[in-house]
Homo-oligomer: A and B are copies of this chain.
Amino acid sequence: MIASDSSRQRSIKNGSERAEHLAGLIMALARREGMRAGDRLIEQRLADALDLSRAPIRLGLKALEAAGLARGEPHRGFVLAKNPTSGAAQPALAAVRRNEQVYATIAGDVLASRLPADITEAELMRRYGLSRAELQRLLDRIAAEGWIARLPGYGWRFAETISSPEAQAQAKAFRAVIEPAAIAQPGFALPQEVIVRLRERQQRVFEGELERMTIGEIFHSGCEFHEEIIRGAGNPFFLEALKRVNSIRRLFAYRSFADRDGMRRHVREHLRLLDVLETRRYTEAAELMAKHLQRPLVAGLS
């Protein structure tokens, strides 16, 4: 439906923060794409991938250079200086946006029911020391993720979804319905190149990268995998529904610990699923997916 994960982060006062954020986006992209040290970072291509124009990309690249993650020469553009490992991406994001922290804090407070279900903007501004503009942006983002909504009068209301302790189980139950069903849809089809790309990534994760990934990255990768597959149904409602669930699951994910062994098994199942999908045995694939989603994975990723 709509790529919602690249939710924008403006409202930066300190110019360099914005640049570092962009740098982070670029590194994350490079990582996902499996780029290595020495690969060229072509402005237009990055811009297209991130739905931006070259101007902001440029800022990001300069920030990367300043952080020693990229090297640039006049008229020859930039080149990755280091393999974009998890660790490498961090420094660029060292100036973790305050907004990002506040976001996490709010999420935590809601999960722990430290906030009332109904709350005014003014109250939120006071509690978290935000300006109106900052709060606005934050609320927009949260609303887009679906766990808050305006009341008709003053104030906002947090969704039950997230505050409920059973939310995690409910998300699972929901996915267990839509994901296999999507695969079983009449027109389901996954282009070969998508399968190849997905297999590559899962393979990379399986073969060691897992150890170097943060929980957030692992989770993101899992979401991407499942979203790509559900996309095969060609029905955006399935995709959109999954994205929403995932954006809420992400909130829990941060508080779960990493069970690397479970994850490894998990990724193996992903690979197995790809094999079945490749041969177009969709009924079987749907069943496999159903089983995959039933498996209780401690870390809450799938």
Contact = CB atoms under 8 A, between A and B. Distances in A.
Contacts of A152: 6-8, 50-52
Contacts of A56: 153
Contact of A244 (B50, B235, B241): B241
Q: Choose among A53, A149, A167 the residue with the greatest number of B CB atoms under 10 Å from its CB.
A: A149
B144 A240 contact: no
A283 interface: no
Given A1-B159, A50-B152, A143-B144, A170 B8 contact: no
B177 A181 contact: yes
A88 to B, nearest CB: 22
Interface string A227-247: 000000011111011001100
Contacts of A161: 1, 236-237, 240
Shortest 8 CB-CB contacts between residues of A and residues of B: A174-B237, A2-B149, A8-B152, A177-B181, A161-B236, A170-B235, A241-B241, A52-B153
Oligomeric state, in number of copies?
Answer: 2
A64 B134 CA distance: 39
A173 to B, nearest CB: 6
A246 to B, nearest CB: 11
Nearest to A242: B241
A149 B4 contact: yes
Contacts of A51: 151-153, 157
Interface in A149-187: 149-153, 157, 159-161, 164, 167, 170-171, 173-174, 177-178, 181-182, 185
A91 interface: no
A287 B150 CA distance: 36
A109 interface: no
A39 interface: no
A57 to B, nearest CB: 10
For this complex, into which size category does the number of interface residues on chain A fall? Answer: 35 or more
A78 B152 CA distance: 22
A146 B185 CA distance: 23
A236 B2 contact: no
Contacts of A241: 174, 178, 237, 241, 244
A177 B174 contact: no
A211 interface: no
A200 interface: no
A240 B244 contact: yes
22 contacts: A1-B146, A1-B160, A2-B149, A2-B159, A4-B149, A7-B150, A52-B151, A140-B143, A140-B150, A143-B143, A144-B149, A159-B240, A160-B236, A161-B237, A164-B236, A170-B236, A170-B237, A173-B235, A174-B235, A177-B178, A177-B182, A178-B241
Given A8-B152, A173-B235, A177-B181, 18 more contacts: A1-B146, A1-B159, A2-B148, A7-B150, A50-B152, A51-B151, A51-B152, A51-B157, A143-B143, A159-B236, A160-B236, A161-B236, A164-B236, A174-B235, A174-B241, A177-B177, A177-B182, A237-B244
